[in-house]
Amino acid sequence: MEVSPGLPPDLWDRMAAYLRGLDRSLGARPRAVLVISGHWEMEHPTVNTGAQPPLLFDYYGFPAHTYQLTYPAHGSPAVAARVRAVLAAAGIDSQEEGNRGLDHGVFVPFKLIYPDADVPMVQLSLNRNLDAATHLEIGRALSPLREEGVLIVGSGMSYHNLRDFYSADPRAVSAAEQFDLWLNAAATHPDTAERDSRLRGWMSAAGARSCHPRPEHLLPLMVAAGAAGSDIGKRAFHDRLLGKPVAGFRFG
């Protein structure tokens, strides 16, 4: 999509370059990707089991061509079943959904990461309780999948206040900067127990509620951090969008 008039023409260029470089940075192709997107909430963690999932255009008011995008990635019922198995082994109830399409938290970034749609995609919902501790626990349950060739991706955003995104109000910018500093220190803390403790208490961080009036775009990071085990987090991406810092993190 073209950048809207009046906005910097290179607004998304660095993020796009980061996403395009992820495949090469991994060193080896995963056998499948498990994506936790900020755009799907269910009463219990729910796994998309479809073998050929369609796309879910879960956005409104965008140019017509953005509703004609394609991303013909296959699903993996076997990986989906394994996701449910590891959740059950950890005492976490889950459900499955075979008809839902992949939402734009999946197909938009992965059109850049794997443009040929040649890696199976499985999506897992958030728990509707939107509780940080719950999502860290879900991540811990999913951790064995990493040793089975499954790449676990939390697709959200470190800053997600759409009301203030286009605002140059110094208070909004200051809050975004404060939370960015806190989140980097928390996600990359060398003591993983301390990392989890800080992430559980994210709401008390400076600028937190200004950056995330609702936490659904931050919680995918909690799942990834929970799955990390003893791997220390690294900030793999950092940029400013309209004055607001945004970051991406990697574990392992």
Q: Give the pLDDT band (50/70/90) at residue 56.
A: very high
Determine the Cα–Cα distance for residues 232 and 189; give it in Å rounded to an integer. 7
CA 19 to the chain's CA centroid: 12
Angle at the Cα of 40 from the Cα atoms of 37 and 46, rounded to 5 degrees: 95
Domain boundaries, given as residue ranges, for the chain: 14-251
What is the reported pTM? 0.96
Contacts of 98 (CB under 8 A, 6+ apart): 48, 49, 50
7-32 pLDDT, tens digit per residue, is: 999 999 999 999 999 999 999 999 99
Residue 1 pLDDT: 85
| Mean pLDDT, the chain, whole residue set | 97
CA 36 to the chain's CA centroid: 6
Section 170-195 average pLDDT = 97
Q: Where would I find the beta strands (DSSP E) of the chain? A: 32-42, 46-48, 95-97, 121-127, 150-155, 233-241, 244-251
Task: Count Cβ neighbours within 10 Å for each residue of 164-179 and write b for 16 or more, e otherwise.
Answer: beeeeeeebbebbbbb
- In this predicted structure, the answer to whether residue 33 has a pLDDT above a threshold of 90 is yes
Section 35-59 average pLDDT = 97
CA 218 to the chain's CA centroid: 8
3-state DSSP call for residue 27?
coil
Please choose, from the candidates 31, 43, 53, 67, the residue with its C-alpha nearest in 3D space to the C-alpha of residue 152: 31
Determine the Cα–Cα distance for residues 191 and 8; give it in Å rounded to an integer. 39
Looking at the chain, the whole-number percentage of residues with pLDDT higher than 90 is 98
100-158 pLDDT, tens digit per residue, is: 999 999 999 999 999 999 999 999 999 999 999 999 999 999 999 999 999 999 999 99
Section 65-77 average pLDDT = 97
Q: Which is the CATH superfamily of the domain at 14-251?
A: LigB-like (3.40.830.10)
Section 163-180 average pLDDT = 96
Please choose, from the candidates 222, 227, 185, the residue with its C-alpha nearest in 3D space to the C-alpha of residue 83: 227
